[in-house]
C-alpha cells in the first residue's frame, strides 16, 4: 500500500512538473512572440518535453493558452484582493481593487496575454467564463461594503457588471492606446467619478451625502 501511494504521488508530481513546464514555456512564447507565432514545437522545446508529452496533457495550442490565461486571471485576483484587504473601509478597498485592476493593464505580460492575445485566441465567451472568479470577487466586495453601510444598499449584480465590464473595456483601451500611461491616468480619473456616483458622494474622498 505504501509503495503504491508513493508511486501515485510520484506520478502526480511528474504530471504537475510537466504541465507546469509547458505552461511556463507557452507563457513566455505568448508574451514574446504572440499566440499566432508560437508553435507547439516551440513550446515543447522551451519546456524540454516531446510532442507526445504535450498532447498527453493538452489537446492543442488553444488549450494551453487557456491555462496560461487562467493563471494570469488568478494573479490579477490576488493583487485585487490584496488591495481590498489593505484598506479598513470596505468601500475604500473596492475602490483600491478597481484602481489596481486598471493599473495592471500597463504590465507588459498582463497586457499581452489578457488584453491583446486572449480575444483572438479564446474568444469572448471563454474569456468571460475564466474571468468569472474575478467578477465574483468584485461582487463580494460590493456586498461587504453595502452590509457595512459604506455605500447605499442595492442589488449587487447589476453594479458589479457595470463596474467590472467598464474596467475591462477601459483596460483594453489602455492596452491599445499610443500613450498608455496617459490613457491610464485619464481612465483612473473617470473611475473616481464613477465610484463617487456609486457611493453617492459629491467627489472622491468626501463624506457620504446619501
Structure confidence at residue 200 (pLDDT): 80
Q: CATH homologous superfamily for 62-205? A: Tetracycline Repressor, domain 2 (1.10.357.10)
Average pLDDT over residues 116-141: 92
Q: CATH homologous superfamily for 1-58? A: Homeodomain-like (1.10.10.60)
- Residue located via cell numbers 478597481: 98
Between these two residues, 208 and 52, which has the higher pLDDT value? Answer: 52
Q: Report the DSSP beta bridge partners of residue 208.
A: 201
Residues contacting 163, CB < 8 A, separation 6+ = 98, 138, 142, 194, 198
Model confidence at 124: pLDDT above 70: yes
CA distance 127 to 66: 9
pLDDT in tens, 3-44: 565 555 587 888 889 999 999 999 999 999 999 999 999 999
Domain boundaries, the chain: 1-58, 62-205
If DSSP codes are grouped into helix, strand and coil, which group holds residue 140? helix
Structure confidence at residue 150 (pLDDT): 92
Structure confidence at residue 4 (pLDDT): 60
Residues contacting 130, CB < 8 A, separation 6+ = 66, 69, 70, 73, 122
Between these two residues, 141 and 203, which has the higher pLDDT value? Answer: 141
Structure confidence at residue 195 (pLDDT): 94
CA distance 204 to 128: 30
Long-range pairs for 180-184 at CB < 8 Å and ≥24 separation?
180/105, 180/106, 181/106, 184/102, 184/103, 184/105, 184/106
CA distance 115 to 119: 7
Q: Residues 22, 43: contact at Cβ < 8 Å?
A: yes
Check for a shared fold between 1-58 and 62-205: no
Structure confidence at residue 209 (pLDDT): 37
Three-state SS sequence of 155-207: CHHHHHHHHHHHHHHHHHHHHHCCCHHHHHHHHHHHHHHHHHHHCCECCCCCC
What are the grid coordinates assigned to 145, written together? 461594503
Model confidence at 176: pLDDT above 90: no
Mean pLDDT of the chain: 89
Structure confidence at residue 6 (pLDDT): 56
Amino acid at each position: 500500500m505504501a509503495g503504491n501511494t508513493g508511486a501515485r504521488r510520484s506520478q502526480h508530481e511528474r504530471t504537475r512538473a510537466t504541465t507546469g513546464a509547458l505552461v511556463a514555456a507557452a507563457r513566455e512564447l505568448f508574451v514574446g512572440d504572440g499566440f499566432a507565432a508560437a508553435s507547439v514545437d516551440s513550446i515543447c522545446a522551451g519546456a524540454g518535453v516531446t510532442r507526445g508529452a504535450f498532447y498527453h496533457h493538452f489537446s492543442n495550442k488553444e488549450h494551453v493558452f487557456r491555462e496560461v490565461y487562467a493563471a494570469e486571471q488568478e494573479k490579477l485576483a490576488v493583487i485585487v484582493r490584496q488591495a481590498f484587504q489593505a484598506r479598513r473601509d470596505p468601500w475604500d478597498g473596492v475602490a483600491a481593487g478597481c484602481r489596481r485592476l486598471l493599473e495592471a493593464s500597463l504590465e507588459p505580460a498582463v497586457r499581452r496575454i489578457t488584453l491583446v492575445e486572449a480575444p483572438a485566441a479564446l474568444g469572448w465567451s471563454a474569456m468571460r467564463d475564466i474571468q468569472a472568479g474575478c467578477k465574483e470577487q468584485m461582487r463580494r466586495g460590493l456586498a461587504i461594503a453595502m452590509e457595512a453601510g459604506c455605500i447605499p444598499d442595492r442589488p449587487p449584480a447589476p453594479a458589479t457588471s457595470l463596474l467590472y465590464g467598464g474596467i475591462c473595456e477601459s483596460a483594453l483601451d489602455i492596452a491599445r492606446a499610443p500613450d498608455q500611461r496617459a490613457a491610464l491616468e485619464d481612465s483612473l480619473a473617470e473611475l473616481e467619478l464613477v465610484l463617487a456616483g456609486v457611493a453617492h458622494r459629491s467627489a472622491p474622498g468626501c463624506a457620504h451625502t446619501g
